[in-house]
Amino acid sequence: MKKLLCFTSLLIASVSFADQLHNYDQIKSAVTEGKLTRIVVDYSKCVITSEQKTIGNHNAIFTPNAMAITNDGGISSYLLYFTMNDPHYPGRGIYQYGKYLISKDNSLLITFSTLNAADFTALDGSVSLNCKIDDAAKIFSLG
């Protein structure tokens, strides 16, 4: 019984809640404190700023393993993943590369590129989206 009570107490103590970060300064503070962040994006609320005007889905959640604060103060991260489900390349293995840049003006710029899985060469033009933090993009701090 004591073991069960101790285990339950530890489990409850380890549960944490995510805090929403509303601006660049809060995000930078969380990153410099080593907190895990999660980025939730509603692409339909973002402005597409590239010639390519299509995006494969409407919503995405990204939890970066690493983030860097650049010399000009931007907070950047990237995502690279393998897929065989890209509608532009049916049945073909490709990599999707996404670069995320949080700017001091409280915006998130996302650029997606499609890469050949064999040699990582770009397959087509990239698509860029500008997303306003607290509207199209919500940033959360975990822990």
pLDDT of residue 67: 95
| pLDDT tier at 13, thresholds 50, 70, 90 | very low
Q: What is the pTM of this model?
A: 0.81
DSSP secondary structure of 33-56 = TT-EEEEEEEGGGSEE-SS----S
- Low-confidence winner among 5-19, 74-88, 121-135 (lowest mean pLDDT): 5-19
The predicted-structure confidence for 63-103, as pLDDT tens digits, reads as follows 999 999 999 999 999 999 999 988 888 899 999 999 999 99
pLDDT at 60 over 50: yes
Q: How far apart are alpha carbons 60 and 43 in whole angstroms?
A: 8
pLDDT of residue 87: 82
Q: How far apart are alpha carbons 76 and 63 in whole angstroms?
A: 12
Which has the higher per-residue pLDDT, 129 or 10? Answer: 129
Residue 3 structure tokens: 């073991």
Q: How far apart are alpha carbons 69 and 76 in whole angstroms?
A: 6
| pLDDT tier at 53, thresholds 50, 70, 90 | low
Nearest to 126 by CA among 114, 109, 108: 114
pLDDT of residue 16: 57
The predicted-structure confidence for 79-88, as pLDDT tens digits, reads as follows 999 999 888 8
Q: How far apart are alpha carbons 123 and 114 in whole angstroms?
A: 6
pLDDT of residue 17: 75
The domain limits of the chain are 16-142
Strand-pairing partners, residue 19, are 141
| pLDDT tier at 51, thresholds 50, 70, 90 | confident
